């Protein structure tokens, strides 16, 4: 089983006197969907941002045995792709964002038969989740929470560059029907031979969703993390 990510002795400090968390050690393997548990404010979002190299941290995050700087951070971020909980804070429109991400030469987009435009697949994915194409040309700030969540996720999945997705409450603004569509799609992508996607770290506050999607469960505390056993269902 291939080791995709290795987190070693990771700690993050808000300021010089306050660690948010410290001493995090864990690995992410091919096929994993790791659900992060932990009290509100313990640092789950912060941890995903550290892994995406968006926060400055102490310790090491290795992707396929190498640091983000070894690949170059922009390329690394297309391989280990962070999807924020509130993409509405991004500047410009979703189509601008798509153009920026697709400009990295690491991209290996999946194409739709009959389409020559390689950035069309994210738009097609979002259509499958009920998003009209015209919404891609609206400013993020003028989209609803659920629309921007689906578009950001469709970008991450549809570009097909990421081997590891870092999902920060990706369906928190969605109704149960849209949530089910998104969960099924991501599950199928993870198991598709055509998809680059190999593993996910997923933050959810829904225990039911955690049980539906998770293959491993990691409990974060301020002083470390431990793997929770998967309990048999009765
Ligand atoms: N930009 C920031 N500046 C200063 N402190 C921050 C910032 N962002 C988050 N924090 C603090 O860092 C800590 C961890 O926040 P984080 O959002 O990572 O927690 P979380 O476990 O994801 O929380 P929740 O479950 O409520 O979403 C909190 O104490 C939070 O107040």
pLDDT tens digits for range 81-107: 999 988 767 789 999 988 888 776 554
CA distances in angstroms from 232 to 19, 211, 229, listed in the order given: 35, 11, 9
- Residue of higher predicted confidence among 173 and 120: 173
Ligand 1 touching residue 14 (CB < 6 A): yes
**Residue that wins the pLDDT comparison between 229 and 153:** 153
5: left (phi over 0), alpha (psi -120 to 50) or beta: beta
Q: What's 92's DSSP letter? A: S
**Alpha-carbon span 100 to 52, nearest angstrom:** 17
CA–centroid distance, 84 to ligand 1, in Å, is 13
Ligand 1 atom with minimal separation from the 203 CA: 22
Distance 27 CA to ligand 1 centre (A): 23
Asked whether the beta carbons of 90 and 110 are under 8 A apart, the reply is no
The predicted complex's ipTM stands at 0.94
Q: Which residue has the higher pLDDT, 185 or 103?
A: 185
**For residue 129, which of 150, 115, 114 has the smallest C-alpha distance?**
150
Q: Residue 169 CA: which ligand 1 atom is closest?
A: 27
| Residue 73 pLDDT grade (very low, low, confident, very high; cuts 50, 70, 90) | very high
Q: Whose CA is nearest to atom 3 of ligand 1?
A: 14
Q: For the segment 9-29, what is each residue's pLDDT rounded down to a tens digit?
A: 999 998 888 999 999 999 999
Q: What is the largest CA-CA distance in the chain?
A: 57
pLDDT recorded at residue 83 = 94
Q: How far is ligand 1, taken at its centre, from the CA of residue 132, in Å?
A: 33
46 lines ligand 1 (CB under 6 A): yes
Q: If you measure from the C-alpha of residue 21 to the centroid of ligand 1, how many angstroms do you get, rounded to a whole number?
A: 11
Question: 101-149: per-residue pLDDT in tens?
Answer: 877 655 444 444 444 455 588 999 999 999 999 999 999 999 999 999 9
Please provide the average confidence, as pLDDT, over all residues in the chain: 89
| Model pTM score | 0.91
Residue-level pLDDT at 115:
41
**Residue-wise burial string across 146-173, b where 16 or more C-beta atoms lie within 10 A, e elsewhere:** bbbbbbbbbbbbbbbbbbbbbbbbbbbb
Ligand 1 contact via 89 beta carbon (within 6 Å): no
**pLDDT value of position 232:** 56
Ligand 1 midpoint to CA 46 (Å): 6
């Amino acid at each position: 089983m291939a080791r995709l990510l290795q987190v070693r002795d990771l700690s993050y400090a808000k300021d010089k006197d306050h660690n948010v968390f410290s001493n995090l050690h864990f690995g992410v393997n091919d096929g994993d969907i790791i659900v992060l548990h932990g009290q509100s404010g313990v640092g789950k979002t912060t941890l995903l941002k550290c892994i995406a190299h968006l926060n400055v941290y102490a310790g090491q995050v290795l992707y396929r045995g190498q640091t983000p700087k070894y690949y170059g951070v922009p390329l690394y971020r297309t391989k280990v792709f962070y999807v924020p909980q509130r993409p509405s804070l991004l500047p410009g429109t979703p189509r601008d964002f798509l153009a920026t991400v697709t400009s990295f030469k690491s991209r290996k987009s999946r194409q739709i038969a009959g389409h020559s435009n390689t950035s069309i697949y994210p738009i097609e994915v979002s259509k499958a989740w009920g998003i009209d194409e015209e919404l891609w040309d609206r400013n993020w700030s003028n989209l609803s929470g659920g629309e921007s969540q689906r578009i950001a996720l469709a970008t991450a999945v549809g570009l097909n560059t990421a081997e590891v997705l870092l999902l920060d409450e990706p369906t928190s603004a969605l109704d149960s029907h849209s949530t089910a569509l998104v969960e099924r799609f991501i599950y199928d992508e993870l198991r598709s031979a055509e998809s680059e996607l190999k593993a996910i770290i997923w933050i959810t506050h829904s225990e039911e969703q955690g049980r539906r999607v998770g293959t491993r469960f990691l409990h974060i505390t301020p002083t470390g993390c431990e793997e929770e056993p998967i309990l048999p269902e009765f």
